[in-house]
Structure 1
Amino acid sequence: MSQGLKKLIFNLCDAPGTSGQEPVDVAARELRKYAEVRIDHNNNVIGELGNPDSHYHIMLDAHLDQIGFIITSVDEKGFLRFAPVGGLDRRVMAGSPVTVFGKEPVTGIVCCMPPHLSDGGEDKALPFDKMALDVGLTGEAAKERIPLGSRGILYSQPQELLNNRLSVGALDDRCGVAALLRTAEILSGEKPDARVTVLFSAQEETGGSGVTTAAYQIYPQEAIMVDVSFAKQPGVASVTAAELGKGPMIGVSPALNPKVTELLFETAKKEKIPYQTEVMGGATGTNADEAAVAKGGVACGLVSIPQRNMHTPAEIISLDDVENTARLLASYIMDRGCRRD
């Protein structure tokens, strides 16, 4: 399964899609293998599987958008100015290759001041409004080929690391999307007595408007969000981070439903699925915060995949954590579909 899961993750990450321009066709094609699928006018991909007449209705969510940028102006020399779409990390920008999706994809480089001319300021990350992209075009040609409002992403090369780990951009949250596709695959063989709605939501990186409208229209009894969270690495406090490869992180927060959270722990223990605990003092910073207050309220849980180098073109995850996330969710749903509480 790991090779198939690896290929799925790389294929999802290879499909560019910043907030509002998510790769819905790619995601919908994969989900249609297991579910009836529709795409709403907010770019949410929604799939229905399981027993539509069940007393129990659960929504699983992973956001489909990735961070990137939007072109705001083109000067007479052909340099492009841009603004971030989502939490782009400006520390990794200088000298980085990018792809700009104008009338056709164009490769560019984020301009970088040579250290010889920087007067010791090369360690300072410029604000985005001071950065520019060089795509090798004159001003006239750039304006013709790259309309204002064109989107772009940092260039990323997929890498398979040792110890069953992967590195590529957009793992936040395409690895969550892959986990839900794997969950749907498991459930297709188990035939749960539950109504399951799988949501690949839009615009999480720019505020969560996709899940806000989708959760309102779907309005399940419960929802479990799958996102990424921080893995241990130099400079990241151990008390706030998890180990790669040691299992998904079950969220504990005042913003989450305590019953759903406890049942996630119970399922992991019963099925001997490795897990870790992530404790938050308030909001989770994920789609759970929006879904929980949809309509009359939705009981939400959170499962996160540990990740290093978040919001960079070299994010790192463990395939084992993605597979165990899917196992946890599938087991949870099979068990909850049999309950009457």
Structure 2
Amino acid sequence: MTEDLQELLFALCAAPGTPGDESEAARRAAWELSDCGETEIDRMGNVICRMGNQTAQQQILLDAHLDQVGLIVTRIETNGFLRVDRCGGTDRRVLPGSPVTVFGKEPLTGIVCCMPPHLTEGGEDKVESVDRMAIDLGLSTEEAQELVSPGDRVLVRAPQKRLLGTRITSPALDDRAGCAALIRCAQLLRNQTLSCGLTILLSSREEAGGQGAQTGAYSLEPTEAIAVDVSFAAQPGVDPAKCGKLGGGPMIGMAPILNRPMTNRLLELAKEHEIPYSMEIMGGETGTNADEIAVSRTGVPTAMVSIPLRYMHTPVEVIDTQDVAYTARLLAEYVKGVD
């Protein structure tokens, strides 16, 4: 298991895992959890780790989604260029001119085509839809057809970097940061005697609809759950009232679909253990796996905790690793207090 938090985050983010094709990311995450409890990968590609007293009346589910946004190959054109579409909510504004890896029979390096500004007559201010973009592999039609098939996945390439202090940038921090928080929570609890059952669910397909969390929650039948995702961190142009602060701790969600007593307990624990936090107030659903989990079977009381993140759905997402550590501590304290 990887104990250093930054190394853990980089290892998780380096494993490719677009929606419906999370196997490599799942294997890495399952290995990280394997020393904490009985760990498996289910038929939906979810990673499941069981800890604590699995026969107890109270069964806690902690969820974070495993998949990342990317692209999917739709066809190979007669000139060897690949046509693609979104696989999850990739931000199309960052795609033109970006280097990518195409996961065909072998990983291939390509470039998302872009028009020279000299030829666009003002079109440089416009971004075409993703299904109108193409990828240049530098291959002939025959070579491309030999190595690539429709349905193959594509990820934008970007370096993983340590920034100043405890901040890092990497692709896939949405939501490998949440996965890292749950793995660190499991590490904090692995030598504890828990009176409740605890299940870590690193779920598939969130970026395509949350099917992994939906089926996972249905099969695991938790008595309560906490979903961990990322949310918007303060940056220029973002209303401070609608975002968290890097290094300011987890964002504790408050929404009609979430369970108010669980939310209040998280707030109490944050204050009691001097864990910095902020509130994230939403007027309806949360847009996270919490929405699917809360309505599983006859209903699951569900809370939500988010890690502040900048530049969501781009290959240069930024977090503060302190917020991951704070989130893990808050969740561990919550689990320890459940009888």
Whether the TM-score (by the shorter chain) exceeds 0.5 is yes
- The two structures have a TM-score, normalised by structure 2, of 0.98
Distance 1:80 1:237 in 2: 39
1:198 to 195, 200, 203: 200
| 1:9 pairs with 2:14 | no
Distance 1:319 1:189 in 2: 23
Q: Deviations over 1:204-241 (max 9, x none)?
A: 00000111111001010100000000000011111111
2:148 is aligned to: 146
Q: Deviations over 1:154-177 (max 9, x none)?
A: 102101001210100000000100
CA shift, 1:3, in A, is 7.8
CA shift, 1:53, in A, is 2.7
Distance 1:35 1:120 in 2: 57
Distance 2:35 2:314 in 1: 31
2:275 is aligned to: 273
Distance 1:29 1:52 in 2: 21
Distance 1:245 1:273 in 2: 11
| 1:169 pairs with 2:171 | yes
Identity %: 52
Any unmatched runs of 5+ in structure 1?
Answer: none
Instruction: Flag the 1:3–1:194 CA change in 2: closer, same or farther, 3 A.
Output: closer
CA shift, 1:259, in A, is 1.0
CA RMSD of aligned residues (A): 1.0
- Counterpart code for 1:16: P
| 1:21 pairs with 2:18 | no
Distance 2:278 2:137 in 1: 44
2:39 alignment partner, SS class: strand
Is the 2:99–2:157 contact (alpha carbons within 8 Å) kept by the matching residues of 1? Answer: yes
Distance 2:65 2:134 in 1: 29
Which deviates more, 75-84 or 188-197?
188-197
Q: Deviations over 1:99-136 (max 9, x none)?
A: 00000000000001000101111011111121100011
Distance 1:17 1:156 in 2: 15
Any unmatched runs of 5+ in structure 2?
Answer: none
Q: Deviations over 1:260-280 (max 9, x none)?
A: 111111111111111110000
Distance 2:326 2:195 in 1: 22
Q: Deviations over 1:23-53 (max 9, x none)?
A: 2111111111101011111111111001223
Distance 2:122 2:147 in 1: 36
| 1:310 pairs with 2:312 | yes
Aligned 1:1-341 pairs, distance under 5 A: 4-22=4-22, 23-337=25-339
- Counterpart code for 1:159: K
- Counterpart code for 2:141: G
Off by >3 Å, runs of 4+ in structure 1: none
Q: How many residues align?
A: 336
